[in-house]
Amino acid sequence: MPSSTGATTHRTRTATTTDSTAVSLATEADAAEETPTAQPFVVPGDDDPDERTAPSAPRSGGTSRSTTRSSTARTTGAGTTGTRTNSGRRGMFSALGNRNYRYFFIGQVVSNSGTWVQRIAQDWLVLSLTGSAFAVGVTTAMQFLPMLLFGLFGGVLADRFPKRQLLIATQAAMGLLAAGLAALTLSGHVQVWHIYAFAFLLGMVTVVDNPTRQTFVVEMVGKKDLGNAVSLNAANFQTARLIGPAVAGGLMAAVGSGYAFAVNAVSFGAVILGLLAMRGAELHRTPRLPREKGQLRAGLHYVAGRPDLVWPIVLVGFIGTFGFNFATILSAFAYSVFHVGPGLYGLLNTAMAVGSLVGALLAARRSRPRLRLLVGAALAFAVLESTAALAPSYWVFAALLTLVGLFGLTLNTAANSLVQLRTDPAMRGRVMSLFMMVFAGGTPLGAPLVGWITEQYGPRIGLLACGLVSGFAAATIGFVLARIGNLRVRLDLQRGPEHQLVAFVPRQQVRQERDIEVAAAA
């Protein structure tokens, strides 16, 4: 991401990678803050892969690099030499200091708003043609199905081709698809199968566009501001979520759905212009992957050998499949639980969007995500979702949805940034395609199941089931990560900057502290 405008503190420590398969469950910043006298954790393949040297090219498209990172030793207040790296908070909009990212961000505001315009208009058009809510669900499934089936291949292309040129091609293809749907609708020849076909084709383009767009962020801003840019992208999308539906409603009321599709087609031009205006010399380019066999398999093997990547992706998959099914549940809550009309139903979506936007802006202040933040946000999301299922009134439910949106967005941005930061640059496209496939591809699987539970047992049971599954996944994966890293939870009720209420520390340190306390008492 671009240069930071906020104050940043750097504490360094020395860490030597001794085993390429060893797993660290905390970033170096985590270990520094939580265990100042402990030995440094080892991150598999290093958690700063962009800065590594002495690369060696493995076979089948894989990449392995050895690294020795050195930094200045720092003496702590207790007189202990610590080896730590800790990035402080950055400015909330620091990534926008980068010219290339600024152009991309502005284009995305326009394009994301257009995407929401089309999404609302498309659902309304399907409903008006068929009168069936099931048909609306089929349209959504057709759009997400390609990600589930072909998502990993998009990552290979993202690693193999120049990302800026690839994005220009995918954005142009999306614009042409929107223009084609607009032409059919305005001419009066549109049929529901046309919409299904266009949704599937859009999903096929998204298979390539999603991992390319996710991994292009680090090329625009560098690693230093990656977390900030990922959070700003989320804020961008949530802002468009507030703007797009309002614009869509006005367009459909005034001139019909066809013009809404035309507006979306034009909106892609803003992203393309931003990409063309970028300065290529300022991009942090990653090496292009040569064409050879086994690259998809190499990407899967890479992730399989990295538990610090596997478990965050599994967690996001569970919550994406079961926790994020609000489109299926909110309408049922509005209609059959609280007995409100479409206006107050729309307000529930707005409440979630506002919470998500706040969560994205707060996440933008964190320069480096941590696994404990990821697990904590997932647990908070699950608890709030389960609590919302039992809300006694509409307004309590709406307030809880705002918090659900905040922690859901925190979870998503933390997982996205963490996975990208810990992934070798040559593997990022394939890893992020797996990330997106698990997160977005779970929708066609989870939505029908959640819909069936809601229909059979009521909206409250449906939402409660989503929260309980998400909470069980978060608690289980948090426990697994702690066990792999040989960590224990320590509670510290003392006040002061050197004390943390909850911290994960090595078991050996806990035993040492207990022995010291016993010796002092004796």
What b/e sequence results for 378-412 when a residue is b if at least 16 CB atoms lie within 10 Å of its CB, and e otherwise?
bbbbbbbbbbbbebeebeebbebbbbbbbbbbbbb
- Is a pLDDT exceeding 90 seen at residue 331? no
pLDDT value for 471: 92
Dist CA 399 CA 376 (whole Å): 20
Tokens of 242: 């507030």
Dist CA 23 CA 485 (whole Å): 7
pLDDT value for 173: 96
∠ Cα 320 219 419 (to 5°) = 30
Tokens of 509: 């340190």
The DSSP annotation for 95-119 comes to GGGSHHHHHHHHHHHHHHHHHHHHH
- Ranked by mean pLDDT, the top range of 141-155, 287-301, 401-415 is 401-415
Give the type of residue at 371: L
Dist CA 264 CA 112 (whole Å): 9
Helix H or strand E segment including 184: helix 163-187
Q: How sure is the predictor about 63, in pLDDT bands with cuts at 50, 70 and 90?
A: very low
- Is a pLDDT exceeding 70 seen at residue 296? yes
Average the pLDDT over each of 33-37, 122-126, 213-217, 456-460 and give the range with the smallest value: 33-37
∠ Cα 224 228 229 (to 5°) = 95
Give Cα 142 distance to the centre of its chain.
22
Dihedral, CA of residue 430, residue 448, residue 382 and residue 331, to nearest 10: 120
As a whole number of Å, the end-to-end CA separation of the chain is 54
∠ Cα 212 64 87 (to 5°) = 70
pLDDT value for 42: 39
Name the CA radius of gyration of the chain, rounded. Answer: 24
Dist CA 140 CA 93 (whole Å): 33
- Is a pLDDT exceeding 70 seen at residue 14? no
pLDDT value for 7: 37
Mean pLDDT throughout 33-43? 37
Q: How sure is the predictor about 102, in pLDDT bands with cuts at 50, 70 and 90?
A: very high
Whether 28 contacts 15, CB under 8 Å:
yes
pLDDT value for 141: 77
pLDDT value for 199: 92
Q: Residue 465's closest CA among 389, 374, 381, 379?
A: 389
Distinct helix (H) and strand (E) counts, the chain:
17, 10
Mean pLDDT throughout 410-428? 83
Dist CA 393 CA 387 (whole Å): 12
Say what percent of the chain tops pLDDT 90: 24
Average pLDDT, the chain: 76
How many other C-beta atoms lie within 10 A of the C-beta of residue 475? 14
Q: How sure is the predictor about 164, in pLDDT bands with cuts at 50, 70 and 90?
A: very high
Q: What is the pTM of this model?
A: 0.65
Q: How sure is the predictor about 105, in pLDDT bands with cuts at 50, 70 and 90?
A: very high
Whether 230 contacts 296, CB under 8 Å:
no
Dist CA 147 CA 204 (whole Å): 7
Instruction: List pLDDT tens digits, range 478-496.
Output: 888 777 766 665 555 566 6
Q: How sure is the predictor about 499, in pLDDT bands with cuts at 50, 70 and 90?
A: low
Average the pLDDT over each of 101-115, 144-158, 190-204 and give the range with the smallest value: 144-158
pLDDT value for 348: 83
In sequence order, the 6+-apart residues with CB closer than 8 A to the CB of 153 are 207, 296, 433
User: Coil, strand, or helix at residue 89?
Assistant: coil
